[in-house]
């Protein structure tokens, strides 16, 4: 049996990750027929924990950085951002495509490209090991800027998002509106946060779970 754990570095904090690894390693000692494959970004704690008990294969991530830089330089041309801001966005993305794509979608919805870009750059972290904290901060800024601080707005947002997350299959906009008892226009506005993925359909548009739950 082979157990594959993808993106272990996204699992909780350092303590949580080490606990998961410890349990898995203990399992392999009890059952020699179980093999474990773990993928992760270059996380020092994970590497240290596995150095004496696993074969490590390092992949060149330079290409992903170049790909993300190319994506930003080409796709962001229409926003007419300064070279300084473009460079800051490339550094902030840190080779993570989902960060760059989320910023791109958010800028598409904006009326002030420069101001929105600078707002999103506030989530930047200089620590590469904190890349997913950086992504979390980006989502936080996107959501709060789109939903606002109103408790009523936040309740509606949570209702729609929880329905999408719990659904066993993609939902039509009209169906999501009926399930949540929210107007279709409100459901559409939630999508401006760029966290919901759409699937074209003849009857309308289908919402499915976010790329990152």
Give 60-81 pLDDT, tens digit per residue: 666 788 899 999 999 999 999 9
Between 107 and 61, the more confident residue is 107
Q: Given a cut of 60, is residue 54 above it in pLDDT?
A: yes
Q: Residue 46: which of 77, 21, 69, 75 has the closest Cα?
A: 21
Between 34 and 10, the more confident residue is 34
Average pLDDT rounded to a whole number, residues 102-107:
88
Percentage of residues of the chain with pLDDT beyond 90: 13
**Distance between CA atoms of residues 199 and 171, nearest Å:** 10
pLDDT on residue 52? 77
For 135, 139, 182, the CA distances from 117, given in Å and listed in that order, are 15, 13, 30
pLDDT tens digit string along 125-165?
555 445 667 777 887 777 776 666 667 777 887 888 888 88
Counting every residue written for the chain, the total comes to: 213
Q: Which residues pair with 45 in a beta bridge?
A: none
CA-CA-CA-CA torsion for 73, 74, 76, 77, nearest 10 degrees? 100
Number of C-alpha atoms within 13 angstroms, CB side, residue 99?
29
Q: What is the mean pLDDT of the chain?
A: 78
Q: Vertex 91, ends 96 and 11: CA angle to 5°?
A: 35
Please report, in angstroms and rounded to a whole number, the separation of the first and last CA atoms in the chain: 27
pLDDT on residue 72? 96
Q: What is the fold, at CATH topology level, of the domain defined by 151-208? A: Arc Repressor Mutant, subunit A (1.10.10)
């Amino acid at each position: 049996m082979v157990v594959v754990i993808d993106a272990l570095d996204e699992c909780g904090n350092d303590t949580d990750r080490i606990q998961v690894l410890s349990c898995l390693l203990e399992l392999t000692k009890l059952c020699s027929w179980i093999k474990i494959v773990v993928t992760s970004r270059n996380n020092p704690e994970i590497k240290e924990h596995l150095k004496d008990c696993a074969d490590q294969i390092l992949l060149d991530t330079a290409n992903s950085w170049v790909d993300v830089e190319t994506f930003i330089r080409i796709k962001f041309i229409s926003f007419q951002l300064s070279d300084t801001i473009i460079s800051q966005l490339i550094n902030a993305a840190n080779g993570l495509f989902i960060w760059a794509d989320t910023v791109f979608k958010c800028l598409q919805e904006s009326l002030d490209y420069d101001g929105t870009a600078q707002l999103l750059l506030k989530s930047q972290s200089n620590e590469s090991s904190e890349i997913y904290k950086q992504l979390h901060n980006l989502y936080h800024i996107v959501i709060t800027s789109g939903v606002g601080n109103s408790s009523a707005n936040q309740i509606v947002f949570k209702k729609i998002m929880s329905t999408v997350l719990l659904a066993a299959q993609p939902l039509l906009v009209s169906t999501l509106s009926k399930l949540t008892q929210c107007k279709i226009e409100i459901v559409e506005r939630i999508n401006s946060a760029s966290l919901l993925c759409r699937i074209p359909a003849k009857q309308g548009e289908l919402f499915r779970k976010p790329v990152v739950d």
